[in-house]
Structure 1
Amino acid sequence: MTWLHHTFQEYPELAIFLTLAAGFWIGGLKVGKFSLGSVTGVLLMGVLVGQMDIQISANVKSVFFLLFLFAVGYSVGPQFFQGLKKDGLPQVLFAALMCVVCLVAPWLLAVAAGYNVGQAAGLLSGSQTISATMGVASDTINQLSVSSAQKQSWINAMPVCYAVTYIFGTAGSAWLLSSVAPMMLGGLDKVRAETKELEKTLGAGDPTQDPGMRSAFIPVTFRAYLVSEQSIAANKSVKDLEASFIQKGHRLFVERVRKADKSIIDPSQDYVIQPGDEIVINGRREYVLSEEDGFGKEIVDDELLNFPVENVNVYVINKEVIGKTVRELRNMDYMHGVPVQNLRRAGISLPVYSETKLERGDQIELVGYKNDMDRAAKKIGYAEIPTDRTDMIFVGLGIVLGGIVGAMSIHAGGVPLSLSTSGGTLIAGLIFGWLRSRHPAFGNIPEPALWVMNNVGLNTFIAVVGITAGPSFVEGFKQVGWGLFLVGIAATTLPLLAGIIMGRYIFKFHPALTLGCTAGARTTTAALAAIQETVQSKLPALGYTITYAVGNTLLIIWGVVLVLLMT
């Protein structure tokens, strides 16, 4: 053990990877539906490993933290700036006001409890489950005109308070928004009923179908049927049959036909379907299921159904498409034979409702023949080219420019004020992410690489924080005591209740959107999943994206503001 101890002291990089491995394992363990999560798991393991008194350069955590912040900004940038437009302003204002409560509540509670700067920053970070706040607060503390020992004491106090308050910050937020909040909005039954009514107006399809069932199937399907004399397809042209579906609000396509002579064709719009023909129908699964009784007997035929199709992600870029609803897009001539399979905004999957409006930077997943896909992609915007290469020129330049701007400071009353390199990098990420949404031919960061920047970047920073604070963690916990847990409950609860009240009485949002906006402004994805399960709908996600972008930006920057308020 002595040899192992000396090895980790001599090679601290090994201690970091040990902390990451053990932290991710601990964070993934579940008790019921609750788990600590990777960040808290890594922090606790870092504290444990840190008992070996391992010295790690502060530059290590800075490098990984900047990668994380740029990735955060890059991910939410399109929706952050999109929200500044007229349609998104109510949600932006809601998120900004709620974020102010997220700052003021922990600040006042910290002052009342007599906490120091570091303890207050840890309370803010843990109760609002925004780990990055610790990094920004640390940068700001390092700029203060106090002794190095005082700075280190405050910085070491942060992870202690974060760890104590994070548990309720995560689990409590999900419970409050999924169980308590619906009662504040008139009761769960009322919220579910109003959500179903709104789904009808958005064109959600069969309102009696459990929305959770859709995720168990591939949204777009190809099915084959034998046309009988009684079939709705018999003696109709392909054009007339497809038009009859549009009148019902569906979009289904006849892709292939096996004629009586056993030849297989890709039918023209004028082809008249005859009894005895075998046809392949293409469309969203819920639409096919709603019509299949009229087609005839379903058949399984490898030859008829064996043909190549593509799945392509297309960025919404062209002005002619921005602002259109999914229904309007589906009815465009160039969308013939091309169903919309999925819709993502700021990395969040949205329900593909007919009346959902498309925004610049949205990613639409299309399915169909290559020629049809190429035609549709050109009209919509830019088809994503699958690649595993990250544009490191884009990433490196963004971090450098943001860091330089953030490092600039002004003096107010002798106190240096600046965004810090971390705050500047976050804003650079927002701008560069927005630029990517407008010009997606450059600046690509594949999702796996973005995951590494987000998760490995943040957790490596947290690992170093935990290891560095390890020796003083126990003493720090004795100072704050279990009373901090109760303070953390209050700091978590007050902003969430304020968000529900503002959404219902001030902004008068729909109940489902109020829940989604509140979860988004607090950047609590776990709560969004719990809300959707409780109200039995994906509709709350429509209120999550813009508020998440605003919340993720302001809550991180609050690390600077809180330090200034406490000094």
Structure 2
Amino acid sequence: MQWMTHVLQQYPELAIFLTIALGFAIGPLKIKTFSLGTVTAVLLVGVLVGQLKIDISPTVKSVFFLMFLFAVGYSVGPQFFRGLKKTGLPQMGFAVLMLLTCLIFPWLCARFMGYNMGQAAGLLAGSQTISAVIGVAGDTINGLPLTAAQKTDYNNAIPVCYAVTYIFGTAGSAWVLASLAPAMLGGLEKVKKACKELEASMGAGDESSQPGMIPADTVVVFRAYTVTADWFGDGKTVQQLEKHLADEHVRLFVERLRQQNKLVDAAPDVVIRKGDKIVLSGRREDLMGERGLIGPEIQDAELLHFPAEALQILVAKKNIAGMKVSALRAQPFMHGIFIRSIKAADIEVPVMPDTVLERGDVLELVGLKKEVDRAAKEIGYADRPTEKTDMTFVGLGIVIGGLIGVLTVRIGGVPISLSTSGGALIIGLVFGWLRSQHPTFGRIPAPALWVMNNVGLNMFIAVVGITAGPGFVDGFKQVGISLFLVGAVATTLPLLAGVLMGKYIFKFHPALILGCTAGARTTTAALGAIQDAVDSKTPALGYTVTYAVGNTLLIIWGVVIVMLMR
């Protein structure tokens, strides 16, 4: 043990990776439905490792924190600016008002309990489950005219208070929004009924039956048949057959033919005769009943050997933004194309006829490669898998954001700035939006974005935990169990306020109230609990815009609460 302590003290980088490894292993472990979560687990492991008194340069955590904040802004930028449009303004207005309560209630609790600025920042970070406040508040404290000892004490208090309040901040939020909130809206059964009615009004009755609007788990298949049915007579065109097979709930497409032992690509005017072999695409259950209308199903390896693709496409064209799914599906270039899923800010939203598409949304389309390629050109940009990240874009973005952040404005003699971290977040929003408008540059693949988000944040948290470790026990003794109760109050009151504002001020649909409240608090776990409780995906319709606003303002509140407590 003594040897290990010496090694970790001499090579602190090993201590960081040990903390990351153990935190990622412990975080997902569940006791019934509860788990610490990766961030909290990394912090607590870091505190334990920090008892060995390991010195780590603060530059290390700053590098990873800037990377994390830029990635956060990049992810939500399109939805953030989308909220500025007329259709998103009510949700953005709701988010701003609710987020003010997310600042005011923790601040009032901290004032009432006599906490210092570090404890108040930790209370905000944990009760609102926004880990980035740890770094932003710390940067703000370091910029104040305080003694070195005061800065150290305040900075060490932040992770202590965060760890104590985060548990209820996560689990409690899911419970409040999935249990208390529906009761405030008339009861769970009433909310379930309202969600089903919203689904029906958006065409959800067709969602499970129309191939252009299939849920993510529906399987699209390609099957071959020999044409033997008398209906074909002297011949029918591909267009006539597709029209003949279609009804209100079914659309099937002819993809390929074998005529006189020659392979022929399908075109609307190609004539199909008895004895030909054809390939149809569609949902598996729709194709199962086609034998009597066409002929027996066959296995023809050569006929069925052609490139089909499932491709993610970034919505970037102006004429597509604002279009409903039903209108998109009716476009000529969508012939033979199936919509498997839609994501906004990496949150999956329901695929319904009345779901509105916006720039920055990602559609997953399924079909023949040539047809998917054609649709991609009309919709936006084909987001094909790649390992390359535009590091020029990332590097310049963080530098520009940092330069903006270090600019200082004095109000009443008090220096106020966004700090480099706040600047990185803001420029990330702008760059993420620019990417949605001009998708030919600024590519950050999803795996790389995951690394920037998760590794960036947890590396920062690991250093924070290790650095604060020696003073963590003393800090916990100071705040005691009372902080957990104060954190529960600071978590619950903003959520209840959000539900009441959504119901009485904005008069949102119950599904949107729940989704908007979860989004403003950036609590994805609560969104999942809500959707399970109401048995509907519709709350996600209110999540994305408010999530973007919440991710931005909650981080900025880390600066504001320090100034308020000062």
Amino acid of the structure 1 residue aligned with 2:385: P
Separation (CA, whole Å) in 2 of partners of 1:85 and 1:133: 28
Please name the residue that 2:547 is paired with: 548
Separation (CA, whole Å) in 2 of partners of 1:219 and 1:529: 24
What pairs up with 1:95-494 in 2 under 5 angstroms? 95-206=95-206, 217-224=217-224, 229=229, 237-243=237-243, 248=248, 250-257=250-257, 265-271=264-270, 279-283=278-282, 285=283, 289=285, 292-293=288-289, 296=292, 299=297, 301=299, 303=301, 304-494=303-493
Q: TM-score, normalised by structure 1?
A: 0.93
* Unpaired segments ≥5 residues, structure 2: none
What pairs up with 1:8-23 in 2 under 5 angstroms? 8-23=8-23
Quote how far apart the aligned CAs of 1:387 are. Answer: 1.9
What pairs up with 1:501-520 in 2 under 5 angstroms? 501-520=500-519
The C-alpha deviation readout for 1:301-329, integer Å capped at 9, x for no partner, is 36254422122222212222111111111
Amino acid of the structure 2 residue aligned with 1:447: A
Say if 1:16 and 1:460, in contact at 8 Å, map to a contact too.
Answer: yes
SS at match of 1:17: helix
Separation (CA, whole Å) in 1 of partners of 2:527 and 2:296: 38
Quote how far apart the aligned CAs of 1:201 are. Answer: 2.1
Quote how far apart the aligned CAs of 1:219 are. Answer: 4.8
Say if 1:139 and 1:420, in contact at 8 Å, map to a contact too.
Answer: yes
Cα 1:147–1:289 shift into 2, 3 Å: same
Separation (CA, whole Å) in 2 of partners of 1:183 and 1:241: 52
Separation (CA, whole Å) in 1 of partners of 2:529 and 2:298: 38
The C-alpha deviation readout for 1:17-64, integer Å capped at 9, x for no partner, is 000000111101111222111100000000000000111111111110
* Unpaired segments ≥5 residues, structure 1: none
Separation (CA, whole Å) in 2 of partners of 1:207 and 1:354: 7
Please name the residue that 2:77 is paired with: 77
Cα 1:392–1:534 shift into 2, 3 Å: same
Quote how far apart the aligned CAs of 1:376 are. Answer: 1.6
Q: Which deviates the most, 265-274 or 373-382? A: 265-274
Quote how far apart the aligned CAs of 1:117 are. Answer: 0.8
Cα 1:302–1:196 shift into 2, 3 Å: farther
Quote how far apart the aligned CAs of 1:546 are. Answer: 0.6
Separation (CA, whole Å) in 2 of partners of 1:197 and 1:302: 45
SS at match of 2:222: strand
SS at match of 1:67: helix
Please name the residue that 1:39 is paired with: 39
Amino acid of the structure 2 residue aligned with 1:301: Q
Separation (CA, whole Å) in 1 of partners of 2:234 and 2:496: 58
Separation (CA, whole Å) in 2 of partners of 1:234 and 1:542: 51
The C-alpha deviation readout for 1:503-524, integer Å capped at 9, x for no partner, is 1221111111111111110001
Q: Which deviates the most, 455-464 or 188-197? A: 188-197
Please name the residue that 2:56 is paired with: 56
Cα 1:275–1:188 shift into 2, 3 Å: farther
The C-alpha deviation readout for 1:149-179, integer Å capped at 9, x for no partner, is 0111011011111111111111111111112
Say if 1:231 and 1:295, in contact at 8 Å, map to a contact too.
Answer: no
Q: Which deviates the most, 18-27 or 321-330? A: 321-330
Amino acid of the structure 1 residue aligned with 2:356: K
CA RMSD of aligned residues (A): 2.5
SS at match of 1:6: helix
The C-alpha deviation readout for 1:333-356, integer Å capped at 9, x for no partner, is 111122222212111122221111
Q: Which deviates the most, 359-368 or 147-156? A: 359-368
Separation (CA, whole Å) in 1 of partners of 2:105 and 2:457: 25
Amino acid of the structure 1 residue aligned with 2:17: F
Say if 1:227 and 1:295, in contact at 8 Å, map to a contact too.
Answer: no
Q: Which deviates the most, 191-200 or 96-105? A: 191-200
Quote how far apart the aligned CAs of 1:280 are. Answer: 3.5
Quote how far apart the aligned CAs of 1:281 are. Answer: 3.2
Separation (CA, whole Å) in 1 of partners of 2:218 and 2:233: 25
Cα 1:533–1:264 shift into 2, 3 Å: farther
Cα 1:186–1:265 shift into 2, 3 Å: farther
Say if 2:206 and 2:249, in contact at 8 Å, map to a contact too.
Answer: no
Q: Which deviates the most, 549-558 or 345-354? A: 345-354
Say if 2:232 and 2:273, in contact at 8 Å, map to a contact too.
Answer: no
Say if 2:215 and 2:341, in contact at 8 Å, map to a contact too.
Answer: no
Quote how far apart the aligned CAs of 1:232 are. Answer: 12
Say if 1:80 and 1:546, in contact at 8 Å, map to a contact too.
Answer: yes
SS at match of 2:507: coil
The C-alpha deviation readout for 1:469-497, integer Å capped at 9, x for no partner, is 10111111111111111111111111111
SS at match of 1:442: coil
The C-alpha deviation readout for 1:529-564, integer Å capped at 9, x for no partner, is 111122222221111111100000000000000001
Please name the residue that 1:28 is paired with: 28
Quote how far apart the aligned CAs of 1:378 are. Answer: 1.6
Separation (CA, whole Å) in 1 of partners of 2:486 and 2:62: 30
Separation (CA, whole Å) in 2 of partners of 1:35 and 1:233: 65
Amino acid of the structure 1 residue aligned with 2:27: G
Separation (CA, whole Å) in 2 of partners of 1:447 and 1:233: 52
SS at match of 2:343: strand
Separation (CA, whole Å) in 2 of partners of 1:186 and 1:226: 57
Separation (CA, whole Å) in 1 of partners of 2:521 and 2:227: 54
Separation (CA, whole Å) in 1 of partners of 2:522 and 2:277: 50
The C-alpha deviation readout for 1:88-117, integer Å capped at 9, x for no partner, is 000100111111011111110111111111
Quote how far apart the aligned CAs of 1:431 are. Answer: 0.6
SS at match of 2:88: helix
Say if 2:316 and 2:359, in contact at 8 Å, map to a contact too.
Answer: yes
Amino acid of the structure 2 residue aligned with 1:59: T
Say if 1:235 and 1:272, in contact at 8 Å, map to a contact too.
Answer: yes
Quote how far apart the aligned CAs of 1:189 are. Answer: 1.7
SS at match of 2:102: helix
The C-alpha deviation readout for 1:179-238, integer Å capped at 9, x for no partner, is 2211222222222222122112222245799xxxx8783553334567775999998643
Quote how far apart the aligned CAs of 1:245 are. Answer: 6.9
How many residue pairs match? The answer is 559
Cα 1:317–1:55 shift into 2, 3 Å: same
